[in-house]
Amino acid sequence: MGALSPLFLLAGAAVAVPLYLHLFHRHKTRRLSFPALRYLERTEREHARQIRMRQILLLLMRMTVLLLVVGAGARLFFAGRGASHPPTATVIIIDNSLSSGLVDGERRVLDGLKELAHATLDEATDDDRFWVIRAGEPWLPALPGNAVDGRTAVDETDVSEAAGDLTAALQRGRRLLEVAELPVREIHLLSDLQASAFAQSGEAPAGDIPVVVWSGTRRAAGNRALVGVTVGGGLPPLEGQRTQVTVESMEALGTGDSAHVPVRLVVNERIRGATTLPPGAQATISVPPAGSGWILGYADADPDDLRSDDRRFFAFRSRPPPRVSVQGTAGLFVDEAVSVLSEAGRVRMTAPDAADLLVSGNGAGLDQRPPQGAVVILPPADETLLPALNRRLADAGIPWAFQPAPRVGQSSLVGDALPPVLEGVTVRHAFDMVPVGDPAAPPRTLAEADGRPWAVESRGPSGRRYLLLASPLDRDATSLPVSTSMLRFVDWLASEWSGTGLALAERVVGDHLPAPDGATTVRFPSGSQIEIDGTRTVRGTGEAGFYRFLVGDSTLSVVALNPPRSESRLEPLSEDRISSAIGPEVSVVEREAEWRGEVFRERQGPELWNRLLLSALLLLLIEAFAATSGTGSPLGIRRDSESAPGARPAPSELVGSATSGSS
Amino acid sequence: MSDSRTVSRGGRRADLLDPAALSQLGGMEFVAREVVEGFLMGLHRSPHRGFSAEYAELRAYQAGDDLRYIDWRMFGRSDRYYVKQFEEETNLRAYLCIDVSESMGWSSDPGTQPSKLWYAKHLAASLGLILIRQGDSVGMAAFHERTIDRVRARGGRRQWHELARRLESLESAGGTSAEGALKDLAIRLRRRGLVVLVSDLLVDRDETLTALKFLRHHGHEVLVFHVIDPGERELPAASEARFYDPETEDELLVSVADIRAEYREAVEDALEEWRRDLKPHGIDYQVVDTDSPMTLALRAYLRKRERLG
């Protein structure tokens, strides 16, 4: 039971009034002189107890009337299943991540979650507001709506092959509810509570908003998955070169499963090899040389209950090695990397005017740069050389200038468009890069260090791409030259960034894909095509497979997106972590039958004030009848003697008193 | 006095007046006289009226009157027939026993309703006047827990004035013990006579019955006037109250609503019990309500008197 005006309950103290009157003012009953008491005694003895009982009954009735009136004023309601609830702003988080596609018995986990979401919506009223957040598709907007809108959103929800970030979903739900107009708020979390879906640390994402959590599917399930496929050790094979594809299976997580899984390798829709893999093992399959063009393939294992992670894709373009020219003092590490790649046949050294990629140390060679090639500009280690660099930049029409900046210590490279090859790279010293004019194209920051641009790309007046790095590539300035990423970085510059090819950097479903220059359309794995908008970024990549960037009908590039490895790990969140991972106001439901009763925790029944007032009125009538019942004729007319001689109405009220005999 | 005469002459006999109105007429002697004269005026047309050797008054002849009693002298003077009316000669000794206990002073409506004692005193005065006019001797005894006043039985108008004076002075007080007064009276009366008890009978029932039977045993005629206030027959409209006996201060919490009907029956049962217990012993019992005219009580006396001859 609850009360909408609980302060009114304080008025319940008024029940003390009749109680006080009953206990301490009983003597105020009228006392009347009546000589014929013996006639009364003949009948009244047996009634004395009844009178006391009636007085107690009247007392109870009066107290009850008071309580009923107080209850009506406090707007009481009964809580409970089947009862209504106050208008509630509700965020339904459906975890439709890859793991929700697990077939449990006869149905997918997601289907069970959707049924629970329907149960929530069945309990909804017209005054409720709903937002449906799909944890596996965070790029989809969560629009407010009524129960019908919510039901539509739930029905449209299907399994995504992206990872589900429930921590982010809860934070998003909290932000939505914090600005909701309705005072009562609630989050319904429908998930398999995969441990990997929650952040390892941090504050409870839901804050103090009540969260009803479904944990009925929170149990460990065995899963066999392919968690990796690597082509050429991470470097895409070149035209006419034999290469190898390495396939990795996920280790058995506490299930003791050691059975080998048959794996097939399919390249350009032809099976190129097959093997068997025990859990946690790798197998390498040779792929014969291919001609120039896009090579698409995947490794495929026998399906199990979670099928989305049984196949991993790869795509690369078989091409001649890109032509690279290094000018000026790019640094020892750059020179060595280019030399290694050249010896491996990954790049070909050439003159600046014929290069696909010009690596310019301190602006050298900018005046010779090829009309079709891209250029990477590295600053000098000595800041006294910066004015010369800035002059060369200005001469080349690149509206940027380098300026000395204080050392700020070590910081990691970050950025929304950070290339995977730069992840984990730290920077100890960088110059400030300042725009000094209007660039021909909007600049794009690929990486930042300590809040300042570290890698900026744009296009010059002739349309050629350039990339400015804020640090020289030496050990004093950055960790990149002495890391394993250096070689891949230079290869990425030559093969991917310069536009001559696409590296095999692993991308997972859900990643944002930058559209290559010139692409007008992207074709999703399902076959649907979407025009590329001005952001030049493809979002909503919820399917695993090949994303083809097209120019008209021609394929410009292909990117393979694979299921996130974390989704293949089905370990549930431990019970002791639920509160810390979600929020302090958590209500965990394990049985479907209990779900309807647990949601809308501020549930209220119909307000009872009208029934309470009616009851109070009835009680008052009963009380009035009980207090005056039996008076018969209020005037005290003697019915049995009305016809008797001399009969007349008795006095209406007895105010008996002894009077003198002499009137 | 002129008002009272007007009342009588206007055809409204005082014996038929409501006691509440009667109490407004004046003092006891006047009221009693008016009552008695009004009562006797009504009796002149009654065939029950007797005749005695002592001439009392004349009245107009009416068909059926005995021709022997026509006053021919008046006929000669007025050319109208008058019949001589004689006071009956008896030697009856009557004693009026008046209960003056505290309960007798009670009235259910003191503003308008006379108390039981008022009614009893005026009834006694009226009876005394009738008796004296009939040539009987009348005495009086007033009692509550004991006899507090006594007047020896005598005849004559002076006796009635004395009776009226003594009755006038009575006031209610104390409890009630009719037994002692009645037995005392029985011992004092040497000749058999008429004993009239005027009381509300809120007394010890058995003892009072014993005393009354004791009087009968000594050869006295007994007439009991049970004076009752209408407020004692019917409970008031109060829903709940504490009733207390003014004599004993006993208290009773009563829910009037619950026992109204039962109380009414209890009163009737009590009255019926008195009547049932007294009748076998030749004791006349008459209930008189203090809101009823006194003529009812006087007629009861007359019936008794006629039986006595």
pLDDT of residue A314 exceeding 70, the answer is yes
**A511 belongs to a structural domain:** no
Of all residues in chain A, the percent with pLDDT exceeding 90 is: 30
Q: How many domains does chain A have?
A: 4
Q: Which two tokens stand for residue A291?
A: 């001609």
Cα three-residue angle A546-A199-A100, rounded to 5 degrees: 50
Domain end position, chosen among B70, B87, B104: B87
Q: End-to-end CA distance of chain B, in Å?
A: 35
Q: Name the least confident of A107-111, A180-184, A460-464, B244-248.
A: A460-464
Q: What is the pLDDT of residue B243?
A: 85
| Boundary of a domain, candidates B55, B87, B119 | B87
Instruction: Say if residue B278 is in the same domain as residue B158.
Output: yes
B165 and B283 in a single domain? The answer is: yes
Which of A5-9, A27-31, A174-178, B233-237 bottoms out in mean pLDDT, i.e. has the lowest? A27-31
Instruction: Give pLDDT, residue A116.
Output: 93
What tokens does B136 get? 């009987």
- Select the more confidently predicted residue: A537 or A524: A524
Type of residue at A196: S
Chain B residue with minimal CA distance to A632? B257
**Same-domain check for residues A586 and A634:** no
**Which band of pLDDT confidence, cut at 50, 70 and 90, is reported for residue A377?**
very high
Same domain, A238 and A368: no
Domain identity same for B99 and B231: yes
Q: What is the pLDDT of residues B140-169, one digit of tens each?
A: 999 888 889 989 888 888 888 898 899 989
Band of residue A154 on the pLDDT scale cut at 50, 70, 90: very high
Amino acid at B280: P
At residue A454, the pLDDT reads 94
Quote the pLDDT of residue A387: 93
Interface contact B291-A632, CB threshold 8 A: no
Q: Which of B12, B18, B67 is nearest to B37 (CA)?
A: B12
For A75-101, the pLDDT digits (tens) are 777 765 556 778 899 999 999 999 999
Alpha helices in A123-221 (DSSP H): 147-155, 166-178
**Residues B106, A662: C-beta atoms closer than 8 Å:** no
A548 is written with which tokens?
């083809």
DSSP string, chain B: -HHHHHHHHTT--GGGS-HHHHTTS--HHHHHHHHHHHHHHHHTT-TT----SEEEEEEE--TT--GGGB-HHHHHHHSS-EEEEEEPP---EEEEEEE-SGGGGEESSTTTSPPHHHHHHHHHHHHHHHHHHTT-EEEEEEESSSEEEEEEEE-SHHHHHHHHHHHHT----S---HHHHHHHHHHH--S--EEEEEE---S-HHHHHHHHHHHHHTT-EEEEEEEE-HHHHS--S-SEEEEE-TTT--EEEEEHHHHHHHHHHHHHHHHHHHHHHHGGGT-EEEEEETTS-THHHHHHHHHHHHHH-
Residues in chain A: 663
Give the number of other Cβ atoms within 10 Å of residue B106's Cβ. 30
Q: What is the pLDDT of residues B163-192, one digit of tens each?
A: 889 998 998 888 777 788 888 888 888 778
Strand partners, B212: none
Instruction: Look at residue A330 and tell me whether its pLDDT is greater than 80.
Output: yes
Contacts of A636 in chain B (CB under 8 A): 234-237
**Residues 122-141 of chain B whose Cβ lies under 8 A from any Cβ of chain A:** none
Please give the Cα distance from A71 to A77 (Å, whole number): 9
Least confident range from A214-223, B64-73, B93-102: namely: A214-223
Q: Which residues of chain B does A50 touch, with a Cβ-Cβ cutoff of 8 Å?
A: 255, 258
Residues A6 and A42 in one domain: yes
Average pLDDT of the residues of chain A: 83
Instruction: Name the most confidently modeled range: A643-657, B40-54, B239-253.
Output: B239-253
Instruction: Mark whether A352 and A427 lie in a shared domain.
Output: yes
Averaged pLDDT of chain B: 79
CATH number of the domain within which A308 lies: 2.60.40.10
Is there a single domain that holds both residue A175 and residue A236? no
A35 and A155 together in one domain? no
Which residue in A511, A570, A573 sits closest to A304, CA to CA?
A: A570
B123 and B240 housed in the same domain? yes
Question: How many domains are contained in chain B?
Answer: 2
The pLDDT value recorded for residue A254 is 64
Residues of B in contact with A644 (CB under 8 A): none
Specify the higher pLDDT residue, A429 or B134.
A429
- Tell me the average pLDDT across A142-149: 91
State which of A463, A480, A500 marks the end of a domain: A500
Q: Is residue A510 part of a domain?
A: no
User: Is B102 within 8 Å of A658 when comparing Cβ atoms?
Assistant: yes
Q: CA angle, B134 as apex, B128 and B138 as ends, to 5°?
A: 35
Domain of A129, in residue numbers: 88-221+570-598
- Report the residue from A50, A628, A656 with minimal CB separation from B108: A656
pLDDT at residue number B228? 92
Structural element, H or E, at residue A414: strand A411-414
Q: What is the pLDDT of residue A218?
A: 63
B305 falls in which pLDDT band (50, 70, 90)? low
Chain segment B267-302, per-residue pLDDT in tens? 998 999 999 999 898 888 989 898 888 877 787 777
* Domain end (from B29, B52, B87): B87
Given A318, A342, A364, the domain boundary residue is A318
Does residue A278 share a domain with residue A350? no
Residue A637 — very low, low, confident or very high, per pLDDT cuts 50/70/90?
Answer: very low
* pLDDT at residue A46, rounded to an integer: 58
pLDDT digits (tens, 9 = 90+) for A343-374: 988 889 988 888 889 999 998 888 876 667 88
HSE toward the beta carbon, residue B113, CA cutoff 13 A: 29
Q: What are the chain B neighbours of A652 within 8 Å (beta carbons)?
A: 236-237
ipTM for the complex? 0.72
Q: How far apart are CA B205 and CA B208, in angstroms?
A: 5
Between positions 166 and 225 of B, the ones with CB within 8 A of A are: 168, 170-172, 200, 202
pLDDT of A625 > 70? The answer is: yes
Q: Within a domain: residue A532? A: no
Distance from C-alpha of B196 to C-alpha of A329, rounded to nearest angstrom: 155
| CA-wise closest residue to B251 among A39, A26, A43, A37 | A37
SS3 A70: helix
Q: Among residues 25-64 of chain B, which lie with CB inside 8 Å of chain A?
A: none
> What are the percentages of helix, strand and coil residues in chain A, rounded to 5?
30, 25, 45
Both B178 and B244 in one domain: the answer is yes
Name the residue of chain B whose CA is nearest to A31's CA: B242
Query: Which two three-digit tokens encode residue A312?
Result: 């991993």
| CA-closest candidate to residue A291, choices A347, A356, A238, A233 | A238
B134 neighbors B53 (Cβ within 8 angstroms) = no
- Neighbour tally for A643: CB within 10 Å: 7
Task: Determine the Cα–Cα distance for residues A32 and A91; give it in Å rounded to an integer.
Answer: 72
Q: Is the pLDDT of residue B3 over 60?
A: no
Residue A629 pLDDT exceeds 60: no
Average pLDDT over residues A405-413: 84
Instruction: State percent of chain A over pLDDT 70.
Output: 87
- Mean pLDDT, residues B33-51: 54
Predicted confidence at residue A576, as pLDDT, reads 83
Q: B2-9 vs B28-43: helix axis angle to the nearest 10?
A: 20
More confident residue, A155 or A636: A155
Per-residue model confidence (pLDDT) at position A80: 59
pLDDT band with cut points at 50, 70 and 90 for residue A536: confident
The domain in which residue B77 lies consists of 2-87
Give the pLDDT of residue B58. Answer: 75
- Contacting residues for A447 by C-beta, under 8 A, at least 6 apart: A413, A414, A415, A417, A418, A419, A422, A453, A454, A455
Distance from the Cα of A634 to chain B's closest Cα (Å) equals 6
Do B126 and B46 share a domain, yes or no? no
Picking from A274, A291, A318, the residue at the C-terminal end of a domain is A318
Mean of pLDDT values over A128-143: 92
Q: How close does chain A come to B187, measured CA to CA in Å?
A: 28
Residue of B nearest to A646 (CA): B292
Q: The pTM is what?
A: 0.51
Query: B173 and B207: one domain?
Result: yes
Residue A181: phi and psi, rounded to 5, are -80, -25
User: For A215-258, what is each residue's pLDDT tens digit?
Assistant: 887 666 678 889 888 888 776 777 888 888 999 988 876 667 77
The pLDDT of residue A300 is: 92
Span A385-400, mean pLDDT? 91
Same domain, B159 and B31: no
Nearest CA in chain A to B269: A39
- Residues B10, B143, single domain; the answer is no
- Decide which of B99 and A602 is more confident: B99
Contact B244 A51 (CB under 8 A): no
